[in-house]
Amino acid sequence: MSANLDISDCRTVDRSSRQPVRGEKLGRVPAISSAERSDSVVPHRLRFRQVHLDFHTSGAIGGIGSRFDKKTFQETLKRAAVNSITLFATCHHGWSYYDTKVGRRHPGLSFDLLRAQFEVCKELDINVPIYMTGGIHNLAAEEHPEWRVIDAQGRLGGWESSNLQAGFRMLSFHSPYLDYLCEQIQEVVTLFPHASGIFLDIVDQGEDCSTWALRYMEEHGLDPQKPADRDRSRLDALMKYYRWSTAAVHDLQPDMPVFHNSPFLPPGFHDFSPYYTHFELESLPTGGWGYDHFPFVAKYAHLLDKDFLGMTGKFHSTWGEFGGYKHPNALRYECCAMLAMGSKCSIGDQLNPTGQLDSSTYDIIGEAYREVAQKEPFVEGAKNVADVALLSSTSIKPVEAYLARQRDNPADTGAARVLLEEHFLFDVIDPEMDFAAYRVLVLPDDIAVNEALHEKLNAYLTGGGKLLLTGDSGIDPERGMLFDIGAQIGNPSEFQPDYILPVSGLRPDFVAQPMVMYKRGRRLSITEGESLGEVYDPYFNRQWNHFCSHQHTPARPDPSGFSCGVRHGQIMYLAHPVFSIYRWFGQVTLRQYLGKALRLLLDGGESLRLRNLPSTGRVTLMHQVEERRYVLHLLNAHTVNRGGAPESPNEDVAGCRQSYEVIEECVPLHDVGIELKLESRILSVRLEPEGLPLSYTTQGHATSVTVPKMEHHQMIALTY
């Protein structure tokens, strides 16, 4: 892949409008007149309590919707306090669940199920976004195998590369499939003009050497034998999809919300943003995302100035699981975690082929959503307050991250975990965002600083900001370190691992001896700066002809003469890729060292200090300007790692090869101490939504309060 690959060069992108209009003919579906449109469509805002009702149903199953009952459907949703539900027009198998002239209705369905569901929801004033499959479509793949994605090795794109394996098939957006998809989108929008949006799923384009892609590359001067040109073709096809599919909706209904669910859309990929009216952040903790994924993406999404919601699942494992139930306390915690990040909520479920909602599922959802209903007034319109900004490593090269399908970046993940567990108030940003609002910017491990970013960071420093650089961040391959850190940076160490002993103020609470650093660091020699500690080399690297014990060689008794970090003015530099190390090894000693180092750099500038909140706790401070209040969210949950790969895995159970982070009990915390430094004079402090006043003290700009008891989530409203 070419290092110079830039999405801004995509031939199909038209930046002249935030809603590009596709010039090609979409099909035979008539457009809605302006008079009809003005009467039927009003702008929608996301609601707080949504269900995403999956319905991917095999054509080999009959009796589809046979037990759908209007009264039971309505009563179940009302009991669960649901006020928005995503219903299916089409599914990954390729079947339609409404009366279609473009697609094919499911062979086991005898009536317009989507219409029936839609109307009973509208009677209850429940919003109904409509789901359509996007990048995968098994029926189209079977009827038009020439539309399928084929990679450079001739493998078919999709869940599985063989037709003999169960899985969904990926289609090429260079092929006529895109015309077919857009025609069906327009049919759905025409038939359901009152829909609360269109949700298009699996928006992705793998490497494609199908006939259509080869023809495209030939016509546009691209060489399919070059990986960089194949990547260019992928991006062109993807942007063509975004333009056409969004126009298919907005040509008919300009105000209708549109969301494209892309599994690998990284921070910083702003070229896609104009095609989204809002964001739905898919993040099932037990489905492969983990409990620390959502805070990271939410702390980025809230800066994009679009409404957004988080999406978890009711499943014990992940999508497509029937009969799997998450403990109610887990779902309560997950929804409250969304609220704490300023997000609306969505819970994934899968409808039984009979069309009957699972009563146990909605009993569990109801426990979470009745709680959400009480708390949402303290979340609506709130903005995150942050001292620290994490400059996402992924956002530096978002195109490359997308092409590599990179969902977990070790530097980003490790840094976010440290900030969460050490209870810092932070945002996640990309290079195009404003830096000025933050006291410290964290550049984790591998941030390549180009000329534009260098200039912007220098301006930030001139304005009084501070930088924390780690590993290779800020180091140019030719010029070396781009910032004055008061030290000379040499080559990476010849030893892996080595050991560090931080200075006394930065040492972990329970360790006074050198601690292991599992990944290779840079050689750092102090000139004018303040050393943050010594590096201790091992006797030798572990090799076949000299090794020691079971794992790695111990440290020599005397320091190497190199430093593990340096502080110089407004900049701190740590010589190891500390955040990636924390992502992979999770050592408490490292996290405490990093927390103390960051607090040293903040130099008393933190807005928040806490007492008696464990590392499992999470904290956010949100600001509701119109209500003239801050809302502090305290979260706590104990996740237990359960399950694992069986000796003889059942191939029919997709999730059987992994363990799961399980939340079951809500363990209460007592006497959580809070000290907040706010510019506004606080007039009252209350536990919400209980409305219970708390006694507090003020000294200057500092407000101190103690929360006597909390379980999984507690809001503290501070009115000024």
CATH of the domain at 140: 3.20.20.80
Q: Which of 399, 310, 321 is nearest to 358 (CA)?
A: 321
Structure tokens at 286: 């037990």
pLDDT value, residue 39: 36
Local confidence band at 518 (pLDDT 50, 70, 90 cut-offs): very high
Q: Is residue 124 part of a domain?
A: yes
Is 689 found in the same domain as 585? no
Is 466 found in the same domain as 358? no
Is 363 found in the same domain as 301? yes
**Cis upstream peptide for 646 (omega within 30°):** no
Give the span between the Cα atoms of 410 and 467, in whole angstroms: 20
The answer to whether residue 410 scores a pLDDT higher than 90 is yes
Predicted confidence (pLDDT) per residue in 107-151, tens digit? 999 999 999 999 999 999 999 999 999 999 999 999 999 999 999
Q: Is residue 23 part of a domain?
A: no
Pairwise pLDDT comparison (28 vs 616), residue with the higher score: 616
Q: What is the mean pLDDT of residues 452-479?
A: 97
**Dihedral angle at the C-alpha atoms of 88, 91, 96, 98, nearest 10 degrees?**
0
Q: Which helix (H) or strand (E) holds 633?
A: strand 629-636
The answer to whether residue 42 scores a pLDDT higher than 90 is no
Which amino acid would we find at residue 599? Answer: R
Q: What is the mean pLDDT of residues 407-417?
A: 94
pLDDT value, residue 162: 83
Is 271 found in the same domain as 165? yes
Predicted confidence (pLDDT) per residue in 490-499, tens digit? 999 999 999 9
Return the sign of the alpha-carbon dihedral for residues 131, 135, 140, 142. negative
Give every strand in the sheet of 629-636, ordered side by side: 383-384, 617-624, 629-636, 713-719, 684-688, 692-693
Q: Could you give the count of Cα atoms lying within 13 Å of 258 in the half-sphere of its Cβ?
A: 28
Is 408 found in the same domain as 545? yes
The answer to whether residue 630 scores a pLDDT higher than 70 is yes
The answer to whether residue 703 scores a pLDDT higher than 60 is yes
Q: Which of 42, 70, 73, 311 is nearest to 197 (CA)?
A: 42
Predicted confidence (pLDDT) per residue in 55-85, tens digit? 999 999 999 999 999 999 999 999 999 999 9
pLDDT value, residue 441: 98
Give the span between the Cα atoms of 203 and 36, in whole angstroms: 30
10 exposure class (CB count in 10 Å sphere: 0-12, 13-18, 19+)? middle
Is 624 found in the same domain as 526? no
Give the span between the Cα atoms of 666 and 45, in whole angstroms: 32
Is 545 found in the same domain as 415? yes
Final residue belonging to a domain, choices 317, 350, 381: 381
Q: Is residue 206 part of a domain?
A: yes
pLDDT value, residue 13: 31
Is 343 found in the same domain as 437? no
- CATH number of the domain where residue 712 is located: 2.60.40.1180
Final residue belonging to a domain, choices 537, 572, 606: 606
Local confidence band at 263 (pLDDT 50, 70, 90 cut-offs): confident
Range of the domain at 105: 47-381
Is 211 found in the same domain as 71? yes
Question: What is the CA angle 83-85-90, rounded to 5?
Answer: 165
Q: Is residue 309 part of a domain?
A: yes
Q: Are 442 and 415 in contact (CB under 8 A)?
A: yes
The answer to whether residue 388 scores a pLDDT higher than 80 is yes
Q: Is residue 1 part of a domain?
A: no
Structure tokens at 76: 């179940």
Q: What is the mean pLDDT of residues 265-278?
A: 92
Predicted confidence (pLDDT) per residue in 176-230, tens digit? 999 999 999 999 999 999 999 999 999 999 999 999 999 999 999 999 999 999 9
Domain count of the fold of the chain: 3
Q: Are 106 and 64 in contact (CB under 8 A)?
A: yes
Q: Is residue 342 part of a domain?
A: yes
Q: Is residue 400 part of a domain?
A: yes
pTM (2 d.p.): 0.92
Q: What is the mean pLDDT of residues 454-472?
A: 98
The answer to whether residue 45 scores a pLDDT higher than 50 is yes
Return the sign of the alpha-carbon dihedral for residues 589, 590, 593, 596. negative
The answer to whether residue 4 scores a pLDDT higher than 60 is no
Is 510 found in the same domain as 575? yes
Q: Are 68 and 116 in contact (CB under 8 A)?
A: yes
The answer to whether residue 466 scores a pLDDT higher than 70 is yes
Q: Which of 512, 701, 372 is nearest to 718 (CA)?
A: 701
Give the span between the Cα atoms of 297 and 430, in whole angstroms: 12
* Averaged confidence pLDDT in the chain: 92
What is the total residue count of the chain? Answer: 720
The answer to whether residue 487 scores a pLDDT higher than 90 is yes
- CATH number of the domain where residue 557 is located: 3.40.50.880
The answer to whether residue 22 scores a pLDDT higher than 60 is no
Structure tokens at 617: 């706790």
Is 302 found in the same domain as 200? yes
Is 227 found in the same domain as 110? yes
Q: Are 294 and 310 in contact (CB under 8 A)?
A: yes
Q: Is residue 24 part of a domain?
A: no
Query: What are the helix (H) ranges across 578-665?
Result: 578-585, 588-602
Structure tokens at 654: 């997709």
pLDDT value, residue 161: 82
Final residue belonging to a domain, choices 381, 416, 448: 381
Provide the 3-class DSSP secondary structure of residue 414. Answer: helix
Local confidence band at 627 (pLDDT 50, 70, 90 cut-offs): very high
